[in-house]
Chain A
Amino acid sequence: MAIALSDALAYRGTFLLGAVFSLLPLATSLLLWIAIYRSGGQGLTIAGFDLNAMLSYYLVQYILGIVNTAEVEWDVTQQIRNGTLNTYLMRPLSYAMVRWDMMVAGIAVAAVLAVAPAALLFFAARPVLILPAAGWQWGAFLLAVVLGVHISFLMSLCLGWSAFWFLETSGFMQATFPFQMVLSGWLFPLELLPRAVWAVAGNLPWTYMTYFPLQIWLGRLDPAAVLRGFAFQAFWIAALFALAAFLWRRGIRRYEAVGG
């Protein structure tokens, strides 16, 4: 863990770059929605979001985004393709655990680095920013974020393991990227999707990565719904864990251990 931390610290430059560059899409979204709401007149709500809720949605999502910067699937694919996975295979370690360690270290560092910009941003956005009203919502939010991070971690692992089968996975990953952007609520709140689509998407793992925590933050879910959400998160973690274990077992047989 210590080595993962020192490695992660070396990447604070990348963190800064990431944070700054994602400011642009954030600004775009905020400006767009302000324009939409303004044209709609006072008291407009879209899918239950008023202007402040919509803006808060993007602001909090931005912070979540810069904290969870793990590029797990890229690292994993690289290691499989050029054989650097060998070093890990030889040691009495679980590769998945090593990856998890690295992810936690990365997020820990990013979270610390993000405190200042987050405080600044929230302070600047005071007039519109919605904060969780009830105490339990803060706790639930944090728990949902942690579980959500694990869902996205497991999903990245699975995507990464696909390199055991496909030599060129970058095309595949780029193709799925837009889907992930939409399905995780990155572009716009998921409830804006057509009813039928939302009915399906609402059960998929992507919803439970950042969208579900955001809903808790904005106070849009009652305790029963929150508990249901946790159940979904737990289910997806278990399912993705099983899938990852399966892919690893199968994949490692095909591994060609190139190099040396």
Chain B
Amino acid sequence: MPAVEVAGLTRIFTTVKRHGGLAGALRGLFRAERTEVRAVESATFSLEEGELVGFLGPNGAGKTTTLKMLSGLLHPTAGTARVLGFTPWERRDEFRRSISLVMGAKNQLWWDLPARDSLALNREIYGVPFDRWKKTVDDMVAMLDVGNRLDVQVRELSLGERMKFELIACLLHDPKVLFLDEPTIGLDVVSARRIREFLRDVNAKRRTTVLLTSHNMADIKGLCHRVLLINHGRIMHDGPLASLIERWAGTKRIALTASRPLVASELSPFGEVLALDGPAAVLCVNRDRAPAVTAEALAALPILDLTVEDPPIEDVIADIFREARPPVSALREQK
């Protein structure tokens, strides 16, 4: 049985439109204009136990909303989801004991107390036996190298340290499914890398199913076996990163170095010139034309070195996301 099964999950938020200024505020008293935001539209996917999957999408794509529904915080407007066989929004105690949600932007630790106390509190709340708890915490603290910060008040920790403790606090009860919302947001390169290593380790050793959202490509590239691309609430791609490029990248990049400086005019017949710097140039050509263009270029120009590459994945994804916004429907004006 898959650890996570989602079918047709939809969430619509209805917000009252507020106009600015005094006149607008007065108007708001009498007529309420309601707008509908379709945050998640018919999402369908499933995760097997032990998978590490990334949810990639621009801001407002619906990643966090989906995560909130899967962790039971939000009720969906339509559709079903089952996590470890439970319906998340029923929020059964056993369900809550088996999962964890970590939000990069929001802290769940007690602000005024040392991190150690929050970890102890979670042990009580989740009912973790002391020995197991001690071993888990010790292991994780060592792995993340925060041993000397355990007795510092959370408010005095740096963002990176807070995030590390947040992760420990949310993993000490050994959840089977871990939801992460932007875990590396705002972190420096070293901390982010540490956390990625940590997550990889947790996933490998404990077979924790991990679903993480990010708009940081390093997270996705470094961690995820599989990527779910989401935009405007719709899932646009579901599969390994490599398949993403295959399916969506319509072009290839040809980087060539010649024995003499090149001129734009002699390159343009082959394809779009993306960069030109003396003898080095980068061309953009249609995927299916790449072999032919390579052969032609090699024949026509004094080339020393030539490589054919996929476009950077960031560009591919940016292109996918650069679609026209669907119109936002104004439901009705109410008096």
Task: Please give, as numbers and ranges, the residues of chain A lying within 8 Å of B117 by CB-CB distance.
Answer: 3
Complex contact B71–A260 (CB within 8 A)? no
Task: Please give, as numbers and ranges, the residues of chain B lying within 8 Å of A92 by CB-CB distance.
Answer: 93-94, 96-97, 125-126
Interface stretch of the complex, out of B104-112, B203-211, B229-237, B254-262: B104-112
Alpha-carbon gap, A226 to B13, bound state (A):
51
Return the contact of A260 from the options B64, B72, B113, B121 (Cβ within 8 A): B64
Contact residues, B5-55 vs A (CB, 8 A): 13
Return the contact of B181 from the options A10, A91, A254, A260 (Cβ within 8 A): A260
A216 to chain B, nearest CB (A): 38
B119 to chain A, nearest CB (A): 13
Complex contact B72–A259 (CB within 8 A)? no
Complex contact A93–B125 (CB within 8 A)? yes
Closest to A254 in B: B75
B101 within 8 A of A: yes
List chain B positions with a Cβ less than 8 A from chain A: 13, 64, 68, 71-75, 91, 93-94, 96-97, 100-101, 103-106, 108, 110, 112-113, 117, 121, 125-126, 181
Complex contact B181–A89 (CB within 8 A)? no
28 A-B contact pairs sorted by A residue (CB < 8 Å): A3-B110, A10-B112, A83-B106, A86-B73, A86-B106, A87-B108, A89-B73, A90-B71, A90-B72, A90-B96, A90-B100, A91-B96, A91-B125, A91-B126, A92-B97, A252-B75, A255-B74, A255-B75, A256-B13, A256-B74, A257-B74, A259-B103, A259-B105, A259-B106, A260-B64, A260-B103, A260-B104, A260-B181
Interface string of A233-260 (1 = CB under 8 A from B): 0000000000000000000111111011
7 tightest A-B CB contacts, nearest first: A260-B103, A92-B96, A257-B73, A260-B106, A92-B93, A253-B75, A87-B108
Task: Please give, as numbers and ranges, the residues of chain B lying within 8 Å of A257 by CB-CB distance.
Answer: 68, 73-74
Task: Please give, as numbers and ranges, the residues of chain B lying within 8 Å of A3 by CB-CB distance.
Answer: 110, 113, 117, 121
List chain A positions with a Cβ less than 8 A from chain B: 3, 6, 10, 83, 86-87, 89-93, 252-257, 259-260
Alpha-carbon gap, A83 to B121, bound state (A):
21
B335 to chain A, nearest CB (A): 19
B140 to chain A, nearest CB (A): 19
A11 to chain B, nearest CB (A): 12
Closest to A6 in B: B113
Alpha-carbon gap, A125 to B98, bound state (A):
59
Task: Please give, as numbers and ranges, the residues of chain B lying within 8 Å of A253 by CB-CB distance.
Answer: 75
B310 to chain A, nearest CB (A): 34
